[in-house]
Structure 1
Amino acid sequence: MFDNYARESYWRFRVPQRLPKDHRYGTATEPGKFTDGTRVCPQPPSSKRPDPSVIDEDCLQLNIWLPVGPAPKDGWPAQLVWIPRKQGISRRSELQSRSYQKLRTMGSEIGVGLDSREKSFFGSDLGNITVAGYSAGAYSSFQKLAHELFRVPEEKGIIIRVAMFSNSTDVTPKSLQDQQLQCDKLLTRLGINLALSDEDKLTSLRAVPHHKLVQVQNGIRIPELRVWADDTFYTADLMCKINNGEFAKRMKYRGIRLINGHCDSEHIMYRRWRTPQESYSAVYQRLLADSSPEATQKIMNHYCGSSKILPVGYSNWEDLFGRIYANIQVHHLQRGFHN
């Protein structure tokens, strides 16, 4: 285990802060203890639940695996930065000036950056860094790549290749207004007065135990917490840059390679994730949890048309939902992005 790669999160809903340059993970007389796994951030339950003893909000940590023996002269020939599938309680649209929408992606950003700065700790070849992930981790890998292409000067870029497994670019994010509606619902369920000032709302949110935050988030009508195009970390016209070839052009110019892949049966897993009831409106509302109203309506029109009836070839609405979700999360957008 490699300990914290950023400062401990004393303040919830805040952009992670880099460690000071003089930070040390131990000394010769009092070496650090890195024999356990990293802590797991609070998150909604899934089919594989972590032990409660390892759940902690102070979870900006890395697991680093090294070959046995001294590193080669030029460093280990390959370095893989793997972003996990779930990253827990994330950002909210409230108080966009404080950049809460960027917390999760900024956490990954600092983690990848630590790998490049602290190479002497584990003998890395900085000219051979791969950023990879599975499911939501693949989406985070894409966001890290996009940020580096459009927000980081070429001479400061560190990514050589990206691996995206079972996820992709997603559709155009929701607007701030859409996100604000979701934030207000969360505050209301927590009993926090919407008339409070922004600072008081934050103070109240930070006082809520993390297990209650997860419980309430899981029960609101729109439970998914997604990124929005702030045009700071996330480029506002990112999808246009993919469609007009600018994204690929920059990847080619910087020599960045991409590998992606998925399973044919992604829909079987996705139809189990917050499964909607058996109706058109239920599927629409479920997709609305992830996508903007405009994108959701276009998707439903594509599959169901104006009749709003179950299309031919699907056994029920649950089956339709799983396949739509798999297509927009993985199959169609991943292939379109690669092409």
Structure 2
Amino acid sequence: MASVPTVTTELGALVGLAGDGVRRWRGIPYARPPVGELRWKAPRPPSLSGGVHVATEYGPHAMQAPDPMNPSAVCDEDCLYLNVCTPEGPVPEGGWPVLFWLHGGGYRVGHGEQLGDGEEFARAGIVVVTINYRLGSLGFLHLAGLFGEPEADAGVCGFLDQVEALKWVRRNISAFGGDPDRITVYGVSAGAKSVGNLMGSPLGTGLFAQAISSSGGADHVATPEAGTALARRLLDEVGCHDVEALRALPAKEFVEAQERILTGFQALWLWRPTLHPRVLPEVPIEPIRRGSAAGVSLLVGCNSNEGSTYALMLGDDVATAPASGVLNGILGDEGASRLLETYLRRVPDLKSAKIAAMGDERYGVPTQRLADAQSAYAAVYRYRIDIAAPGVPEQLDGGHGTETTMAWKTPLPLATQGSAVNPKRERAALLIHRSWVRFIRDGVADADGPEWPPYGPELRPVLVFREDTDLVLDPRSDERNAWGDTEWESGTWFPVT
């Protein structure tokens, strides 16, 4: 029988769980509950200190729309908790490397433990930290444009939560056997865009040594004008424009109101951090281009058909409805037409071309630009994933979010409903996990697959994970060139009425 693991932190003694080769501590508060007068305020240090505390149950998820796949999930405004999973056994000299995970969900939904505790990473000699952070209108409601400087942090609360959790980890992770100087921040989708924000924010400097960005970039922030317009729309929906009265309303009223504005997959990119003079002074890709994250090694990539997940969830017609407006707004009518003609060389019809282009607008192009920017200042390893997890229907090959269970080596319940497992895909999935482990532990991405050299804009080497994984130089260069160097403001695809 495994002994009960206990560690001493600034919060006091934390009692966790042990078994299956790992140790776990759950529901650790890294900040005070952001309720009452602390709603829409920067996180404050936790009040818990001294004594012995049982840390065996997850904390509540951030307030969000109900999850039909997990109807019993507990959501609460009191949500600023993290979880730690470590290897069993003696701690090596200097400690284990640390993986700090930021979940995805479009800043609207999600929670830290949605992929589990990270047991497979821990068994590979890595300390895994997963966190919850504020979401939606409770995490990213830009009130400064309506109520002035006292509400300056309201539009970046969720991002400040991530920074606060990282600070807590740096101060306390050595108690769990982790090395605070070997932290890798890792996120997917909104979590990956959060990684980009950390790389570009002055608040992220020195908090982590490496980064993994899966389907992200460093571009998804709102201007103060856009943030103010959305905040005004939300307050109109709530029916209250007094800031003190707003703090007294039940949290669920804000979730219900934001879901009336946009809901489901159409709402995934409505909420996002707003530019802030101290926190996010400019779109993060710009300071990254100037070296704000110099020395931070980066594993970065996306999937080959990100938009297919949206098409599956929304239907082709709904998913492609905003394409003309979005693409024409970025490239102009002629440029958008040339772009779709370029995609039509690879995909069978115009609808497929629009799905592919929209996926690249949100993930592919921002990923490319983040790789280009950071490669001037640190080692960068770039990948593309062309398959879904073994057993998942092939119609989701390369779809958004379909790689995470492979990277985490997490069994998928959906696999039992999918196609027969392909041994080549099983090997590719295992290689993905081993490559991530190697990067977190050693700072290089080579595992037991093809040679994987650092990325640079001259040759643009990309490791393409597929049934026959291979290194490809500048894949789909015609599509990359069709986008050109045009910059655009990243926002929601769907109109807010």
Q: TM-score band, normalised by the shorter chain?
A: 0.7 to 0.9
Any conservation in 2 of the 1:44–1:214 contact (CA below 8 Å)? Answer: no
The reply to whether residue 179 of structure 1 matches residue 227 of structure 2 is yes
Distance 1:80 1:280 in 2: 36
Any conservation in 1 of the 2:199–2:284 contact (CA below 8 Å)? Answer: no
Distance 2:103 2:215 in 1: 12
Distance 2:76 2:337 in 1: 46
The reply to whether residue 116 of structure 1 matches residue 170 of structure 2 is yes
Q: Structure 2 length as normaliser, TM-score? A: 0.54
Match of 1:233 among 263, 275, 279: 279
Following superposition, the deviation at residue 65 of structure 1 comes to 0.4
Q: Secondary structure at the match of 2:363?
A: helix
Q: Equivalent residue for 2:433? A: none
Query: Residues 39 and 208 (structure 1 numbering): CA distance in 2 closer, same or farther, change over 3 Å?
Result: closer
Distance 2:352 2:188 in 1: 23
The one-letter code sitting in structure 2 at the alignment partner of 1:134 is V
Q: Equivalent residue for 2:259? A: 215
Q: Equivalent residue for 1:336? A: 369
Distance 1:296 1:143 in 2: 27
Select the structure with the greater relative contact order (CA < 8 A; seq sep ≥ 6): 1
**Could you tell me the percent identity over the aligned residues?**
18
The reply to whether residue 251 of structure 1 matches residue 293 of structure 2 is yes
Q: Equivalent residue for 1:292? A: none
Any conservation in 1 of the 2:192–2:217 contact (CA below 8 Å)? Answer: yes
Any conservation in 2 of the 1:174–1:229 contact (CA below 8 Å)? Answer: yes
Distance 1:162 1:116 in 2: 15
Following superposition, the deviation at residue 37 of structure 1 comes to 2.8
Q: Secondary structure at the match of 2:300?
A: strand
Q: Equivalent residue for 1:81? A: 100
Following superposition, the deviation at residue 302 of structure 1 comes to 6.5
Q: Structure 1 length as normaliser, TM-score? A: 0.76
RMSD: 3.5
Match of 2:306 among 256, 266, 274: 266
Any conservation in 1 of the 2:99–2:184 contact (CA below 8 Å)? Answer: yes
Q: Secondary structure at the match of 1:209?
A: helix
Deviations 1:50-85 (A, max 9, x none): 333422222111121011134234222x01101111
Q: Equivalent residue for 1:60? A: 80
Distance 1:264 1:160 in 2: 28
Q: Secondary structure at the match of 2:31?
A: coil
After TM superposition, the structure 1 = structure 2 runs for residues 308-327 of structure 1, keeping only pairs within 5 Å, are 319-327=352-360
The reply to whether residue 298 of structure 1 matches residue 298 of structure 2 is no
Query: Residues 110 and 32 (structure 1 numbering): CA distance in 2 closer, same or farther, change over 3 Å?
Result: same
Q: Secondary structure at the match of 2:303?
A: coil
Q: Equivalent residue for 1:9? A: 34
Give the gaps of 5 or more residues in structure 1.
288-294
Of 78-87 and 295-304, deviating more is 295-304
Any conservation in 1 of the 2:65–2:255 contact (CA below 8 Å)? Answer: no
The one-letter code sitting in structure 2 at the alignment partner of 1:218 is L
Q: Secondary structure at the match of 2:278?
A: coil
Query: Residues 128 and 93 (structure 1 numbering): CA distance in 2 closer, same or farther, change over 3 Å?
Result: same
Following superposition, the deviation at residue 115 of structure 1 comes to 0.5
Deviations 1:254-309 (A, max 9, x none): x2111112221212113356678569874466x5xxxxxxx972256475359x99
Following superposition, the deviation at residue 129 of structure 1 comes to 0.9
After TM superposition, the structure 1 = structure 2 runs for residues 35-184 of structure 1, keeping only pairs within 5 Å, are 35-44=56-65, 49-76=69-96, 78-86=97-105, 88-89=135-136, 90-96=139-145, 97=149, 98=151, 99-147=153-201, 150-151=202-203, 157-170=206-219, 173-184=221-232
Q: Secondary structure at the match of 1:111?
A: helix
Following superposition, the deviation at residue 232 of structure 1 comes to 1.7
Any conservation in 2 of the 1:39–1:56 contact (CA below 8 Å)? Answer: yes
Distance 2:271 2:324 in 1: 17
Query: Residues 324 and 17 (structure 1 numbering): CA distance in 2 closer, same or farther, change over 3 Å?
Result: farther
